[in-house]
A = this chain, B = another copy of it.
Amino acid sequence: MTTTATTTTPPVTVSTPSDREIRIERIFAAPRALVWRAMTDPALVAQWWGRGNQLVIERDERVRGGHWRYVEHAGGESHGFEGRYAEVVPPERVVRTFEWDGMPGHVALETATLEDLGDGRTRLVSVSLFHTVADRDGMLHSGMEGGIAQSYAALDRVLATLA
């Protein structure tokens, strides 16, 4: 399956390389060092990850073995997300686990790679591996695609302020 969410910003391409994976691809109109900074500096992550909702970064220890925990506040509700870093290789690669409080124990392993396209743009490829097909399908049908498009559009705006 491959679908493309068309917006006024660059498209997000979502595909399923295997029955337990989701692959997300998005190009950013900014150099890799800047995209890396916007995706790893907690003060900047707080500006785009929540898509306009308040995001509290309780922990974000970006080293191998470090933990992260973000809590998004929206409409009187809070949603926590957390995991642990397996690999942090600036400015190109982060591997970490991802777990939503609403489904504890359902852990995805995310491998995010930033590729310098050589023309001032950067390609992000993120592959998430789930324990089961059901976990993968649950994420796929959670409305994630629209949420990710919104997050990355907000990230575009953060990148514009850094340029």
Contact = CB atoms under 8 A, between A and B. Distances in A.
Interface stretch (A6-14, A70-78, A102-110): A102-110
Interface residues of A, number: 22
Contact of A65 (B104, B109, B132): B104
A109 B99 CA distance: 13
A64 interface: yes
- Main secondary structure, interface of A, reads loop
A119 B121 CA distance: 69
Interface of A: 64-66, 84-87, 95-97, 99, 101, 103-107, 109, 129-132
A107 B109 contact: yes
Given A131-B129, A131-B131, A87 B109 contact: no
A111 to B, nearest CB: 10
Contacts of A87: 105
Contact of A109 (B84, B86, B96, B105): B105
A64 B100 CA distance: 12
Contacts of A95: 105
A52 B13 CA distance: 52
9 contacts: A65-B101, A84-B105, A86-B104, A86-B106, A87-B105, A97-B105, A97-B107, A129-B131, A131-B131
Residue in A99, A103, A107 with the greatest tally of chain B CB atoms within 10 Å: A107
